[in-house]
Amino acid sequence: MGILLKSAVRLTALALLLSIGSCATLPKDYAREPSHAWDRPQETKLGRALAPAATQHPGMSGFHLLGNGMDAFVARMALAEAAERTLDLQYYIFHGDLTGKLILDSLVRAADRGVRVRLLIDDTAAKGRDAVLAAIASHPQIEVRVFNPSAGRSSASWLFSAAADFDRINHRMHNKMFVADNEAGVVGGRNIGDEYFGAREGVNFADMDLLAVGPAVQDLSRSFDEFWNSEWAYPIEALHKGKPDPAAMEKGRELLAAHRSAAQDTDYAKRLRDSDLLQRLEGRELPLVWAPARIVYDRPGKAGSEGRPADDLKLGPQLKAAAAEPRSDLLISSPYFIPGERGVASFKHLREKGVRIRIVTNSFAGNDVALVHSGYAKYRKDLLKLGVELYELKPTLAAAPEKDRERFGSSGASLHAKAFIVDRERVFVGSLNLDPRSLDLNTELGFVVESNELADMLARQFDELIRPAYAYRLELEPSDGDLVWISEENGRKVRFTRDPDVGFWRRFSTWFLSFFAPESLL
C-alpha cells in the first residue's frame, strides 16, 4: 500500500507541474518592429573589395569551403570585424564557451562601431538565459529574437511547458547562418560552440560550411528577414519578465573583454594564429569558386504545421528541383541518417538506373544521439542489398596521422557535416539531416551550387573522410547476410561482427528506449 501511495503522490505532483506549465502563456500581439537586410551592400567595404571579381562573374556567387573547424571560426570572426552596416545571425545552438564568448564579444564590438546586429536563436539556445539575452539586447545596436519559444522560461519550467505544448515545441529552427553587410556570409552544419570549431578537449565535430559572397548572400538575407519578421520570432523583451538593468550591458562588456584577453594565452588561440584561412585573409589571397547557386530553405510557417507540412513550406521539393535527379553518382554525408521506407525506395530507384551511391554517417559509438542510430540501424541491410555503399565514422582518430587529428582539434570526432554531391556537378551544403525530424519537423537551410570544381573539392574531402583511418566500411557476410564492419589497424584488415566500441549497456538502453521513440520524431 505504501508503494501505491508513493506512486500516487508522484503522479499527482507531476500532473500539478504539467498544469503549471500549461498555464504559462506567450504574450499575444507583442509589438515587433519589422526590419530588413541592408539594401546597398555594394557600397560597403566588403562590397567594394569584391566588386572586381564579381564583375568578371556576372550573376554568379563566390564560394570557399570551410572544412576545418578553426578556419570556420576565423571566417565568422573576420566577417564580424569587417562588417560596417549589419550583422545577421541565425542559429540553433549558441554556447557560452570559449569560442561562443569570443563571437559574442565580436558582435558587441561591432555594435559599438555602429553596426546593427540582429541575433535570431532557437529557443533551444535561449532556455534559462533570458536575463543574459535581455542584457545583450539592451545595447541600442543589438536586437535579439527567439524562435518558437516555450511559455515557461526557466530551465525547469521550460521542460514542463514544452511537455504541455509538445506538438508546437517539437518544431525547432535548425538553420545556421552568419551574414555581414548582406554581402558575405557563412552557411553550413556548424552551430556556435567549441565542439564545432575544434576548440573542445575530447570529441569535436567533423563539419562543413560554405563561405559565400555575391547574389546568393542577398537571397540568404531575404530568408533571414522572413524568419526575423515572422510571428514565430519573439523579441527577448517580450519573454524576459525582469526590468532592464542599465549596468548589465556594461558589466557584460567588461566580462567579454576579460575573456578575450585571457583567451589569447590558450592553446586554441596559438593554433588559430597558424590558420591557413587567417593567413590567406591577411594576404587578401582567399580563393573563391564562382558559380550559379540557389538557396533552399523551409518557411517559418513550417513550425505551425500539424502532421506532415505542406510542400510550399518545405525545403525538400525546392532541393529536389534545384539538385535534379542523379544520373551516375551520389555522395551523401549525413550525421543523423534515417532513410525510412520512402528513402529506401528512392535509393532502389536510383540503383536500378545504375547510379553509384555512397553514404557516410556516424557509427553507433560516434553518434551523440543514440536513439537516432536505432532508427538508422534497421535500414542498413536493406541499403547494402541494393548495392548502396555505407561508411560509418569512427569515434576516435587515435590511429590517424597527427596532421589528420589536427583537422578536428582532438583525437575524437563525430560527423556533423550535412552535404551531398550529385554527378560531380552540383553540391548541397547546409543544415539538413536526412531524417524525419529535419524533413518534417525542423526548419532547415542550405545552398545548392552548380560547380564541377566545388563538387570535386568536396568529393576529395568525402574520400578523405571514408579512409580506413577514419571510417568503417559496412558489408554483408556472404554466408549468412549478417553485417560486418571493415577497418584497418597497423596496415592490417580488421573485421567486426557487431557495432564496434559499444558496450552492453549502451546497446541495451538504446534498444529499450527505441520502443518509446517513434521514427517520425527522430
Q: Could you report the per-residue pLDDT of 253-280, keeping only the tens digit for each?
A: 999 999 999 999 999 999 898 888 887 8
Select the more confidently predicted residue: 409 or 35.
Answer: 35
Cβ atoms 496, 484 nearer than 8 A = yes
> What is the mean pLDDT of the segment spanning 497-501?
94
Least-confidence region, from 92-101, 170-179, 384-393, 404-413: 404-413
> Which one, of 24, 26, 21, 23, lies nearest residue 236 by Cα?
26
> Which one, of 415, 409, 375, lies nearest residue 394 by Cα?
415
> What is the mean pLDDT of the segment spanning 144-163?
83
Q: Kindly report the average pLDDT of the chain as a whole number.
A: 89
Alpha carbons 300 and 309: distance in angstroms, whole number: 11
> Which one, of 63, 54, 179, lies nearest residue 428 by Cα?
63
For the cut 80, the answer to whether the pLDDT of residue 244 exceeds it is no
Residue 59 pairs in a beta bridge with none
DSSP string, 376-411: HHTTHHHHHHHT-EEEEE-SB-TTS-HHHHHHHTSS
For the cut 70, the answer to whether the pLDDT of residue 11 exceeds it is no
Select the more confidently predicted residue: 414 or 228.
Answer: 228
Cβ atoms 187, 91 nearer than 8 A = no
For the cut 50, the answer to whether the pLDDT of residue 388 exceeds it is yes
State how far the alpha carbon of 42 is from the alpha carbons of 50, 180, 183, 214, in Å.
Answer: 9, 12, 8, 9
18-22 long-range CB contacts below 8 Å, 24 or more apart? 18/160, 18/163, 18/164, 19/164, 20/157, 20/160, 21/151, 21/152, 21/157, 21/159, 21/160, 21/161, 21/162, 21/163, 21/164, 21/165, 22/161, 22/164, 22/165
DSSP string, 346-378: HHHHHHHTT-EEEEEEE-TTT-S-HHHHHHHHT
Q: Are strands 86-91 and 61-66 parallel, antiparallel or unpaired?
A: unpaired
For the cut 50, the answer to whether the pLDDT of residue 486 exceeds it is yes
Span 400-447, pLDDT tens digits: 444 554 454 444 678 999 999 999 999 999 999 999 999 999 999 999
Point out the residues that are catalytic.
174, 176, 181, 416, 418, 423
Band of pLDDT at residue 283, cut at 50, 70 and 90:
low
pLDDT score at 3: 44
Residue that has been written with the C-alpha cell 522572413 in this structure? 226
DSSP, res 310? P
pLDDT score at 398: 44
Span 468-480, pLDDT tens digits: 988 999 999 999 9
Band of pLDDT at residue 173, cut at 50, 70 and 90:
very high
pLDDT score at 10: 45
Least-confidence region, from 88-102, 236-250, 454-468: 236-250
For the cut 90, the answer to whether the pLDDT of residue 66 exceeds it is yes
DSSP, res 290? E
> What is the mean pLDDT of the segment spanning 346-366?
96
**Domains of the chain with CATH codes:** 29-35+53-282 (3.30.870.10), 296-521 (3.30.870.10)
242, containing H or E segment: none
For the cut 60, the answer to whether the pLDDT of residue 16 exceeds it is no
3-state secondary structure at position 278: helix
pLDDT score at 456: 98
Alpha carbons 435 and 395: distance in angstroms, whole number: 21
Least-confidence region, from 134-143, 208-217, 239-248, 490-499: 239-248
- Tell me the percentage of the chain whose pLDDT exceeds 70: 92
Select the more confidently predicted residue: 213 or 2.
Answer: 213
For the cut 90, the answer to whether the pLDDT of residue 386 exceeds it is yes
State how far the alpha carbon of 95 is from the alpha carbons of 103, 127, 501, in Å.
Answer: 10, 12, 29
